[in-house]
């Protein structure tokens, strides 16, 4: 388990003086064009020889995390005038001002005889010539060095943007191999940036739509190993699994956890009709939420657990609806042209992400929870299945290319529609689900 400690710093943060950039160092994130904030991150200081490689690698991951958001721009090391050779040396602000660095991240790494890393860092507002918050120290096994780096980046991101970070998180997804007409699919899990990918299931049966629990230690998914879709619950640490709600003559799919983690909402198809149900994971009690001749699927809870958004063709075309979490009257919230599906409530509670199909193109979009302020973020041959970053700032999704050789890949995009990026995942990948921040 990683730990976080506050360092006693010789230089305490007081009231910040007026800055050359007209205010405290802060990125104000809005819908306009944002000029990335230039930052410098010299290689972290290795406090013993065993930590040398870790010090360089950790600094590189922190820099990649920040630059990857599109909100920050790293000033390359070859442009640096100043050098940081000791964590406790005074900052030579003039050297960093000269290259227009607005933020400076310094750090130091040590590795003890038990194979445990200790990483400490400080963040400085260059133009105010003051630290931005206290220094912090993280510790953990040497094998967890990437997690330590992500935690440092989360702290830097949060202090400058005022929002929570999302780097110390994981993504579960469907890893695909083989030709397009005979794909083998298995569940896999990786760091948010594509590193440390491992498999959770084999390729003996088709698997779809994995979904994390609120604590990130369990995954719901749909499997066809019985020949029909059936929901399974998997333990991430052990890969142990069990089928849920095995009822003869039914098919279950599209599961998602309630915010308390004790209940699951899902679609159940029986006798040609598909409705939404909940299942209590402790008692096994199943409760019907909808009863209609239409297809009701892809449910997602609001963060407070009081409402569910879902897709339905009750109006004649695939649209989005919101209803109380206990069932009852549903209100349609999608009214644009085309079809809407796979809605997912933002962890902030302020938006719903969705897939839209219109005029032969697929889009990932977001809207307010009442359906207003619809914004399309992407457009391609096939974009689908959005999932939210833990801070509600970024959406990840599947993009598939056309043709016989077409293959799915994972992409992410900011909710303003900027910074579209393909994740560096080996092989074809689909159906991502983003975890909460790791403990």
Q: Residue 16: inside a domain, yes or no?
A: yes
Integer CA distances (angstroms), 355 to 187, 213, 308, in order: 22, 22, 17
143 pLDDT tier (thresholds 50, 70, 90): very high
The CATH number for 341's domain is: 2.120.10.30
pLDDT in tens, 158-172: 999 999 999 999 999
Q: Residue 439: inside a domain, yes or no?
A: no
Do 205 and 305 lie in one domain? The reply is: yes
Tell me which of 137, 161, 185 is where a domain ends: 161
Q: How far apart are alpha carbons 24 and 328 in whole angstroms?
A: 49
Do 263 and 208 lie in one domain? The reply is: yes
Do 372 and 342 lie in one domain? The reply is: yes
Contact 140, 3 (CB under 8 A): yes
Q: How far apart are alpha carbons 427 and 409 in whole angstroms?
A: 8
Q: Residue 3: inside a domain, yes or no?
A: no
Side-chain half-sphere CA neighbours of 351 within 13 A: 22
Q: What end-to-end distance do the CA atoms of the chain give, in Å?
A: 8
Do 390 and 260 lie in one domain? The reply is: yes
27 pLDDT tier (thresholds 50, 70, 90): low
Do 268 and 360 lie in one domain? The reply is: yes
Q: Residue 2: inside a domain, yes or no?
A: no
pLDDT in tens, 222-239: 999 999 999 999 999 999
Do 256 and 119 lie in one domain? The reply is: no
Tell me which of 161, 184, 208 is where a domain ends: 161
Do 18 and 135 lie in one domain? The reply is: yes
**161 SS3 class:** helix
Task: Mark out the alpha helices in 263-390 (DSSP H runs).
Answer: none
Looking at the 3D structure of the chain, how many domains does it have? 2
23 pLDDT tier (thresholds 50, 70, 90): low
pLDDT in tens, 383-430: 999 999 999 999 999 999 988 788 999 999 999 999 999 999 999 999
Which residue range is the domain that position 37 belongs to?
8-161
The whole-number pLDDT of residue 29 equals 60
Can you say how many angstroms the Cα of residue 45 is from the centroid of all Cα atoms in its chain? 30
Q: How far apart are alpha carbons 278 and 289 in whole angstroms?
A: 7
Do 21 and 136 lie in one domain? The reply is: yes
The CATH number for 141's domain is: 3.40.50.10070
Q: How many CB atoms lie within 10 A of CB 165?
A: 25
Do 26 and 140 lie in one domain? The reply is: yes
Residue whose C-alpha is closest to residue 361's, from 382, 334, 375, 386: 382
pLDDT in tens, 28-47: 665 555 789 999 999 999 99
Do 154 and 187 lie in one domain? The reply is: no
Q: Residue 354: inside a domain, yes or no?
A: yes
Do 299 and 429 lie in one domain? The reply is: yes
């Amino acid at each position: 388990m990683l730990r976080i400690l506050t360092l006693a710093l010789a230089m305490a943060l007081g009231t910040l003086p007026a800055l050359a950039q007209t205010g405290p160092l802060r990125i104000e994130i809005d819908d306009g064009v944002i000029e990335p904030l230039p930052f410098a991150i010299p290689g972290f200081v290795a406090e013993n020889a065993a930590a040398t490689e870790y010090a360089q690698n950790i600094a590189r991951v922190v820099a990649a995390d920040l630059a990857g958001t599109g909100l920050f721009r790293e000033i390359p090391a070859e442009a640096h005038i100043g050098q940081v050779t000791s964590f406790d040396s005074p900052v030579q602000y003039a050297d960093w001002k000269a290259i227009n660095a607005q933020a400076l991240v310094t750090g130091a790494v040590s590795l003890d005889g038990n194979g445990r890393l200790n990483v400490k860092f400080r963040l400085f507002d260059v133009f105010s010539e003051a630290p931005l918050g206290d220094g912090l120290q993280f510790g953990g096994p040497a094998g967890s060095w990437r997690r330590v780096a992500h935690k440092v980046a989360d702290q830097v991101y949060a202090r400058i943007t005022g929002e929570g970070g999302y780097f110390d998180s994981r993504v579960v997804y469907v890893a695909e191999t083989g030709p397009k007409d005979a794909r083998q699919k298995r569940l896999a899990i990786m760091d948010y940036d594509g590193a440390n990918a491992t498999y959770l299931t084999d390729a003996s049966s088709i698997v779809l739509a994995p979904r994390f629990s609120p604590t990130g230690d369990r995954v719901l998914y749909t499997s066809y190993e019985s020949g029909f879709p059936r929901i399974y619950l998997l333990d991430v640490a052990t890969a142990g699994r069990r089928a849920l709600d095995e009822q003869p003559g039914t098919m279950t799919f599209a599961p998602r956890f309630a915010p308390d983690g004790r209940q699951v909402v899902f679609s159940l198809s029986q006798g040609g009709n598909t409705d939404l149900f909940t299942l209590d994971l402790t008692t096994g009690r199943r409760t019907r939420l909808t009863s209609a001749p239409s297809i009701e699927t892809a449910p997602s809870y609001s963060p407070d657990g009081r409402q569910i958004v879902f897709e339905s063709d009750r109006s004649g075309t695939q649209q989005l609806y919101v209803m109380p979490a206990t069932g009852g009257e549903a209100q349609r919230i999608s009214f644009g042209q085309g079809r809407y599906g796979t809605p997912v409530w933002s962890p902030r509670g302020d938006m719903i992400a969705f897939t839209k199909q219109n005029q032969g193109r697929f889009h990932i979009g977001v809207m307010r929870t009442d359906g207003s302020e619809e914004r399309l973020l992407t457009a391609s041959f096939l974009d689908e299945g959005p999932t939210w970053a833990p801070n509600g700032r970024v959406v990840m999704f599947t993009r598939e290319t056309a043709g016989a050789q077409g293959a799915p890949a994972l992409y992410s995009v900011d909710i303003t529609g900027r910074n579209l990026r393909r994740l560096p995942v080996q092989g074809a990948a689909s159906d991502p689900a983003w975890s909460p921040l790791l403990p």
